[in-house]
Structure 1
Amino acid sequence: MASDHITEIVIFSALFLLVSAMGFVAARWRKAETLDNLDEWGLGGRGFGSWITWFLIGGDLYTAYTFVAVPALVFGAGAAGFFAVPYTIVVYPLVFLVLVRLWSVSHVHGFVTPADFVRARFGSPTLALAVAITGIVATMPYIALQLVGIEAVLKAMGVHGHWPIVIAFVILAAYTYQSGLRAPALIAFVKDVLIYLVIIVTVLYIPAKLGGWGDIFDSARAKFDATEDPGDGILLDGSNQLNYAMLALGSAMALFLYPHSITGVLAAKNRNVIKRNMAALPAYSLVLGVIALLGYMAIAAGVRPVAHNGETDGNTIVPVLFDQMFPDWFAGVAFAAVGIGALVPAAIMSIAAANLFTRNIYREYFNRHATEKQEATVSKLVSLIVKGGAVACILLLDPQFSIDLQLIGGVIILQTLPAVALGLMTRWFHRGALIAGWAAGLLTGLALLYQIPNPAKGKEHFGGSAYPLSDFGLDTRTTLYVGVIALLINVLVAVVGTVVCRAANVRDGVDATREDDYLADENDPKTKEIAMTSST
């Protein structure tokens, strides 16, 4: 009951209100003449230095998903849940050169979204529309996942029902509307301090109470040795090793395709800021590895997820662990770290999705001559709608195994890789072939996801992202990440389609960028207008 958690609720609420106040004050931080344009409201003035960018991107990428879903997966499945650790190590070398090029060309042309770049690079508003819609759709479940994290913490404190999520949404919506990207950038400082504090205390305190790491791993091994589920265990086996590797690689490729990741990058003031952050951000992976181990600590501590009205919520594993192991006052601090860890990325995600709608749907198809103020106004309003949609996901959909939401979003966003990531490196692809590849990959991914059940959760469809290769007629128990299968289909169609289009002399779009645009730095001039050259 909530009355048993008064101290935790008070501390959680106090810290939550503190960062909310910071969100409103952020409008005066690094104050601009006006926030009525997307450069200022949506990208924080494009002037964040290394430290601010470090906290912003870290706060953007390491979310409530990190604290809630990853340990819950480790608790339920064992070693397979550690896929998040290698993918956050692999991702930074992969994107080091690509993101620097994106920052430069966006600086020169005034791009706000990845779809802006695609529009100019391939001369195709249709392809840009596809990228924009994909980004918005993939971001919605990711925002919902942040709200799942807040709800899990509240349940651990005995607070049930969806009304606290609605209140959190209203507060988040209000300060994001007023302050734009400055709000999550400022709050990210508090979020990271709290998370590092909680992790340091957790590593020192909980294992000592549980008898040491040896006992923790012994308890985890005993649990998984007793289960009959294939693939679950403290070590990977032959059935899930390939899926583990491909899931890590696919997730790494998807991470910086998300609109919110790119928003954090475009807010940096120069190329060196991006380079330094890509070199330093792997430090978060060490923290992530410890967070994943919370799943094993929960096993050793005998944690049972919160059950309410006959339903058990697996997302509450870590909050219940904190509640059992820490004194009430520090449990409140830990709960606040998880809750604030949801606010920062949720704000950035809603801003990024709103910018996509404004620049690549509203401006392209409804008001070609929109002023900067009109763009900012539309983006602010759409950010409210996006948050409302995320709340609707929580109210209407089953969030029991919240990691599935993010994995499905990853499969979807991966289909923009040829147009965005490969487009930054080469102009070889034909715009029509990229559209065909995107459609083929998206349909393949959704069709395969639909066929995956999760009997443990009573799901007949969309029960995970590991597709059994036996369904292709192969005599094996091996599974493979759907995102990689769909991406291979996407690239294959794009390559073959490009060859066919070139052979048939099908008219291609005009590239509005130049090679030296991809090497520009902060002192180069910016041009805000994106050429509206041709249509597909």
Structure 2
Amino acid sequence: MWRDHLTQIIVFGVLFLGVSALGFAASRWRRTGSLNHLDEWGLGGRGFGGWITWFLLGGDIYTAYTFVAVPALLFAAGATGFYAVPYTVIVYPLVMFALVRLWSVSYKHGFVTPADFVRKRYESRTLALLVAITGIVATMPYIALQLVGIEAALKTMGLVGDSGFTRHLPILIAFAILAAYTYSSGLRAPALIAFVKDSLIYLVIIVAVIYLPFKLGGWGGIFDAAAAKFEASAAPGDGILLNANNQLNYVTLALGSALALFLYPHTATGILASRDRGVVKRNMAALPAYSLALGLIALLGYAAIAAGTKPVLGDNNTIVPALFDGLFPAWFAGVAFAAIGIGALVPAAIMSIAAANLFTRNIWVEFLDKGASPAREARVSKITSLLVKFGALLFVVGISPQFAIDLQLIGGVIILQTLPSVGIGLYTRWFHKGALIAGWAAGMGAGLWMLYLVPNAATKHEHFGGSAIALSKLGFDSPRTLYVGFLAVAVNLAVATAGTLILRAAKVSDGGDGTAPADYTADRSAPEREVSRYTEAAV
């Protein structure tokens, strides 16, 4: 009952409403022009320095996925959940130079989205449209994951039932709050709130990793309890060590997730909001520090096993809130719940802004309203950000994955199909644009088909139950599993490569390239910059 959690509710409410107010106040924070312009509303004026970018990217990348979904996976499935740690370790050196190139070419040409880059690089409206649609669709389940994180905290405090209208009431509340302050303040709102969000999370984690081992008999006792639980489990693949059947999935999941992370439009938005190339480089070098916190947060799943914590209403996503509710003073549990809720608001805001920018620049302006003024662009983007959140609600209501983390992994399968055109396109123009379109179609079709084949053991649904497919589903006599996204992007690349060779041999026209080699090393200190109607100051 909620009356038993009154202290937590008060602490949570005060902090949650406080940062929401901060989101509205952010509309005037570091503003250099009118918010009726995508550069100001959607990219914060392209002027964020090192510290702001650090907190913005940290708030963008380390989300409710970190604080709710990863520990829940460790609690229920064991060592497989640790894939999130190596993937966030390898991603930064993997993408550092690619993101610097993306920032430079975007600065030079005034790009707001990855699809803007594809439009100019390949001079293809169709390919840019596909990249934009892919980014929007892939972002929706990721936003849904953030809303599930808020729901988990409120459910633990007794504010949510397990059926009926109250089942999704917190998501509706989150929708209203996000809609209001992102519409009002744009990217500045999550950038400012990120300072509070990261501070709360670091506070909670530092206290937890000191207090929990003391309370539960040390880390040795925690691991022993987790091992005993999984040894008694009949579920294949569970354990504190990987086995022969899930090792391949672990490797492909870590690598696939690393490749997908900075293809998401919201992470690209954080990069493009940076002031110069140096800010991007420094943040890519420093962001792995967050991976240490991620590893400690993941261990909360094992701590919950040692503490005998039970999920609220049978929902594994509540395991971390339930752990804090059971072992910590009420007031500190309220702080932890607020950290989860705020940790979900920040990335959800950035994601909805990024998806809205994609629609505005690469669908609305490109195909429906070519003469749109900067003010009209900003207005369309604001409205679209509301619709994107509504789409995320449909994901939560319509798809019931076994773990909340599957919402992010399903989105990863989708966004990985932009790797050839965006990620590889930053380095080479070798691929034929027609072959890239064919590769996208093949990879997307294969990915969705494989996701359809994955059952959900928890809800007994036959389809879309996760992102790990058994090789037996593909006709192989093997119980091993692989990450669907890895297989789908392999199909994409194979078709794009073969198609390029065929089209080049047939001498099919490939259009041109609207970028130049020097564009990929441009910096703010350079004297020249292409000025377009998208980068002119709004009146």
> Of 379, 389, 392, which residue of structure 1 is paired with 2:391?
389
Distance (Å, rounded) in 2 between the aligned partners of 1:502 and 1:180? 44
Distance (Å, rounded) in 2 between the aligned partners of 1:526 and 1:326? 55
Given that 2:31 and 2:44 are in contact with CA atoms closer than 8 Å, whether structure 1 keeps it comes out as no
Q: Which moved more, 1:206-215 or 1:135-144?
A: 206-215
Aligned to 2:212: 206
Given that 2:31 and 2:45 are in contact with CA atoms closer than 8 Å, whether structure 1 keeps it comes out as no
Long gaps (5+) in structure 2: 161-165, 535-539
* Aligned positions of 1:228-377 closer than 5 A: 228-307=234-313, 312-377=314-379
Offset of residue 385 of structure 1:
1.0
Name the amino acid aligned to 1:299: I
Given that 2:399 and 2:464 are in contact with CA atoms closer than 8 Å, whether structure 1 keeps it comes out as no
1:488-535 CA-partner distances (Å, limit 9, x unpaired): 11001001100111111111122100000000001334335499xxxx
Offset of residue 168 of structure 1:
2.3
Distance (Å, rounded) in 2 between the aligned partners of 1:366 and 1:320? 49
Q: Which moved more, 1:55-64 or 1:516-525?
A: 516-525
- Change in Cα spacing, 1:392 to 1:39, as seen in structure 2 (3 Å) is same
* Aligned positions of 1:185-200 closer than 5 A: 185-200=191-206
Distance (Å, rounded) in 1 between the aligned partners of 2:286 and 2:441? 36
> TM-score scaled to structure 1, two decimals?
0.97
Offset of residue 149 of structure 1:
0.2
Offset of residue 476 of structure 1:
2.5
Distance (Å, rounded) in 2 between the aligned partners of 1:113 and 1:14? 36
Distance (Å, rounded) in 2 between the aligned partners of 1:31 and 1:181? 11
Aligned to 1:119: 119
* Aligned positions of 1:360-439 closer than 5 A: 360-398=362-400, 401-439=403-441
Aligned to 1:453: 455
Given that 1:313 and 1:400 are in contact with CA atoms closer than 8 Å, whether structure 2 keeps it comes out as no
SS at match of 2:482: strand
Aligned to 2:183: 177
RMSD: 1.2
> Of 520, 526, 530, which residue of structure 1 is paired with 2:529?
526
Aligned to 2:163: none
Aligned to 2:55: 55
Long gaps (5+) in structure 1: 532-536
- Change in Cα spacing, 1:119 to 1:378, as seen in structure 2 (3 Å) is same
Aligned to 2:537: none
Aligned to 1:85: 85
Distance (Å, rounded) in 2 between the aligned partners of 1:158 and 1:473? 46
Given that 1:122 and 1:509 are in contact with CA atoms closer than 8 Å, whether structure 2 keeps it comes out as yes
- Change in Cα spacing, 1:456 to 1:387, as seen in structure 2 (3 Å) is closer
Distance (Å, rounded) in 2 between the aligned partners of 1:400 and 1:335? 22
Name the amino acid aligned to 2:206: I
Distance (Å, rounded) in 2 between the aligned partners of 1:85 and 1:528? 41
Aligned to 1:41: 41
- Change in Cα spacing, 1:126 to 1:472, as seen in structure 2 (3 Å) is same
Offset of residue 399 of structure 1:
5.5
Q: Using the aligned pairs only, state the percent identity.
A: 69
- Residues 1:139 and 2:139 are matched in the alignment: yes
Q: Which moved more, 1:347-356 or 1:470-479?
A: 470-479
Name the amino acid aligned to 1:380: K
Number of residue equivalences: 527
SS at match of 1:456: coil
SS at match of 2:448: helix
Given that 1:305 and 1:316 are in contact with CA atoms closer than 8 Å, whether structure 2 keeps it comes out as yes
Given that 1:124 and 1:431 are in contact with CA atoms closer than 8 Å, whether structure 2 keeps it comes out as yes
- Residues 1:466 and 2:468 are matched in the alignment: yes
Offset of residue 396 of structure 1:
3.8
Distance (Å, rounded) in 1 between the aligned partners of 2:293 and 2:424? 31
Distance (Å, rounded) in 2 between the aligned partners of 1:355 and 1:519? 24
Given that 1:315 and 1:400 are in contact with CA atoms closer than 8 Å, whether structure 2 keeps it comes out as no
Distance (Å, rounded) in 2 between the aligned partners of 1:491 and 1:443? 13
Given that 1:109 and 1:530 are in contact with CA atoms closer than 8 Å, whether structure 2 keeps it comes out as no
Name the amino acid aligned to 2:307: A
> Of 208, 229, 232, which residue of structure 2 is paired with 1:226?
232
Given that 1:120 and 1:530 are in contact with CA atoms closer than 8 Å, whether structure 2 keeps it comes out as no
1:155-181 CA-partner distances (Å, limit 9, x unpaired): 000001222322222122111111100
Offset of residue 397 of structure 1:
3.5
Given that 1:148 and 1:399 are in contact with CA atoms closer than 8 Å, whether structure 2 keeps it comes out as no
Given that 2:402 and 2:457 are in contact with CA atoms closer than 8 Å, whether structure 1 keeps it comes out as no
1:372-413 CA-partner distances (Å, limit 9, x unpaired): 111000000100111122223333443552111111110000
Distance (Å, rounded) in 1 between the aligned partners of 2:425 and 2:318? 41
Given that 1:86 and 1:248 are in contact with CA atoms closer than 8 Å, whether structure 2 keeps it comes out as yes
Offset of residue 479 of structure 1:
1.3
1:410-440 CA-partner distances (Å, limit 9, x unpaired): 0000000000000000000100000000000
Given that 2:400 and 2:459 are in contact with CA atoms closer than 8 Å, whether structure 1 keeps it comes out as no
> TM-score scaled to structure 2, two decimals?
0.96
